[in-house]
Amino acid sequence: MPESVWILGDQLLHDHPGLAPGRHVVLIESLQRLQQRAYHKRKLGLILAAMRHYAVALRAQGYEVDLRSAPDFVTGLRAHLAASGSTRLVCMAAAEYDTRQLQLSLAPMLDTAVEVLPNDQFLVTRYPPRRAPVRMEPFYRMLRRQTGLLLDANGEPEGRRWNFDADNRQRYDGRPVPALPTFVPDALTRSALDDVEALCPQAIGSTDGFALPVTRAQALAALDNFITHRLPDFGPFEDAMHSHEPVLFHSMLSPLINIGLLRPLEMCQAAVHAFYNGQAPLASVEGFVRQIIGWREYIYYRYWDMMPGLRDVNAWNHQRPLPAFFWNGATDMHCLQHAITRALRDGYTHHIERLMLICNFALLAGLQPQAVNDWFTTCYIDAYEWVMLPNVLGMGLHADGGVTATKPYIASANYIQRMSNYCSTCRFNPKDRVGVDACPFNTLYWNFLIVHEARLRANPRLGPAVLGLRRFDPTQRAAIQAHARFVYEHFVQ
């Protein structure tokens, strides 16, 4: 009997486990998914273009592919089953909660047999036992051992260390940054971009200048370009920020791995290969492997561990709406002006700008976590619920009460000045805590410590920061709190 495999737009794996000779393939461009909220046009363009190229690639391999536009998934699947005559549907479990729930309830809706295969886009299959709290570092080491990545002949970590973070905190020193590779849209990609413009009027940003990889071959070329040109400097400047260099030595590969054009293990293996060939230093290679099989896998684990309750967490009970500058970048805070403008325009800022600028500000300013998460989901071209919720609500805003990250990632202007060039041309003074020139990050940082002193003191990882409050007498504390009210009134509106 004929059967079909349904492949989602973020599962465009060249070796998708549901592909089998003789099985129909169905890909659905769901209008409901495209239009359900404002997304970045580049993200929508990437997904549609990649789906269409994927269909072409599968057809070239002999598969019969039904790529169809439909009001929603179920309507599209019904129409496909009727057209193909398939009586059995196979799919791979979605990375995201709602779509996986839909897959699990499809059989009665479609009146056909449905098999949901395990998701193989992630390496974490054997979850650690739940008795003890799961923390990122032991989780990462477990995956290093499972994969054998960067282990020596004795099974010990290369360089005798698991962690090179201490070597990887340099300020950008002005060395040339290799240009990102660009991929000129072909006719198929242009048609996808045109459809986004026509079908998604609510989407933000622009498809102008779209140059992202949209095929497996292009994704591999982008990976190779990163490994050759940027990986060697990835580690030392991983945390650096610069007004003229939005990407620095980061890979910009998250939009591709998140839709299946690349697999995590092959990305790590390519980096490890560069280390053994003497093309990239260990600190950079370990740093990159840590991002992929450490942070990325940990985040996916956290998502499934905490869903569906994760969506509603708000451990600090923060209720302030997003200031208007989140939607136009119009703020005098130079660092946020750059990061937010880039997010709105390009759909990308690198990790430290997401964490230590945007989320740091949002947490210190008491912005409502779900509104912040919605903003990230709208702006970023690599945004998917499984990766947004633990990163934004967990790591960035500590709204999950410390499950994802053991301490809130908060910092004053001191950190921003140390890791970037933003403060040198900003109208605010990174040294001041109060006064009209005081950097709002400073005022809000110290105000946060004062307001939450007792709670933060109980966190061993924040002890030293809270101890800094001892320097302030009651008059200084009152001045900080008074200036915080001024900051809220003038800079958080």
Ligand X SMILES: Cc1cc2nc3c(=O)[nH]c(=O)nc-3n(C[C@H](O)[C@H](O)[C@H](O)COP(=O)(O)OP(=O)(O)OC[C@H]3O[C@@H](n4cnc5c(N)ncnc54)[C@H](O)[C@@H]3O)c2cc1C
Binding site for ligand X (CB under 6 A): 250-254, 257-258, 291-292, 295-296, 299, 350-351, 354-355, 359, 376, 380, 382-383, 387-388, 391-392, 395-396
| Closer to ligand X by Cβ: residue 376 or 445 | 376
Q: Determine contact, residues 325/336, Cβ cutoff 8 Å.
A: yes
Q: Determine contact, residues 331/423, Cβ cutoff 8 Å.
A: no
Q: Determine contact, residues 259/209, Cβ cutoff 8 Å.
A: no
- As measured in angstroms, the least distance from the Cβ of 149 to ligand X is 14
| Closer to ligand X by Cβ: residue 261 or 438 | 261
Whole-angstrom distance, CA of residue 76 vs CA of residue 69: 7
- As measured in angstroms, the least distance from the Cβ of 109 to ligand X is 30
Q: At residue 454, what are phi and psi to the nearest 5 degrees?
A: -65, -45
Whole-angstrom distance, CA of residue 146 vs CA of residue 130: 18
228 CB-contact burial (10 Å; exposed 0-12 / middle 13-18 / buried 19+): middle
Q: In what order do the strands lie in the sheet with 3-6?
A: 65-70, 24-30, 3-6, 88-92, 113-117
- As measured in angstroms, the least distance from the Cβ of 323 to ligand X is 17
Whole-angstrom distance, CA of residue 412 vs CA of residue 415: 6
- As measured in angstroms, the least distance from the Cβ of 356 to ligand X is 9
| Closer to ligand X by Cβ: residue 195 or 238 | 238
- As measured in angstroms, the least distance from the Cβ of 56 to ligand X is 26
- As measured in angstroms, the least distance from the Cβ of 407 to ligand X is 14
- As measured in angstroms, the least distance from the Cβ of 337 to ligand X is 18
| Closer to ligand X by Cβ: residue 50 or 65 | 50
| Closer to ligand X by Cβ: residue 90 or 343 | 343
| Closer to ligand X by Cβ: residue 53 or 290 | 290
Whole-angstrom distance, CA of residue 441 vs CA of residue 118: 44
Q: Length of the chain in residues, anyone?
A: 493
Eight-state DSSP code of residue 359: I
| Closer to ligand X by Cβ: residue 106 or 340 | 340
Residues 6 or more apart whose Cβ sits within 8 Å of residue 335: 241, 353, 357, 416, 420, 422, 423, 426
